[in-house]
Amino acid sequence: MCITRECEKGCTCFSGGEVKHNPHCVHYPESRTKMYDDLKAKLEQLERMYHARGRRIDAMEHELTTHHGLWAIDRDPKDVDIEWIRRNAFPLKKDVRNG
């Protein structure tokens, strides 16, 4: 039997001897179950942050293209300085922007 007397109701024993401890069990803080739960919570937090960042980027892109329009230059930006870009950039027409 893999569950000890100290385990709480709800701990589960698997055929290989592994135990999924209930969060209220005295063994939970040192268990792999806690490690798994912590990693899962961290992954969910990172996913929320990733999606929130994507929504912020989408909002900024919408703001820029809606209020300032899309601008283009006919040279590689690495080959020119910022002043050249300011003098020669041209706005794209709406029909070009939307495909």
Question: Rounded distance, CA 17 to CA 4, Å?
Answer: 12
User: pLDDT band at 99, cuts 50/70/90?
Assistant: very low
Read off the pTM: 0.51
* Helix residue ranges per DSSP H, 1-99: 32-67, 82-88, 94-97
pLDDT for 35-94, tens place per residue?
999 999 999 999 999 999 988 888 877 776 666 666 677 788 888 888 888 888 777 665
Question: Rounded distance, CA 11 to CA 13, Å?
Answer: 7
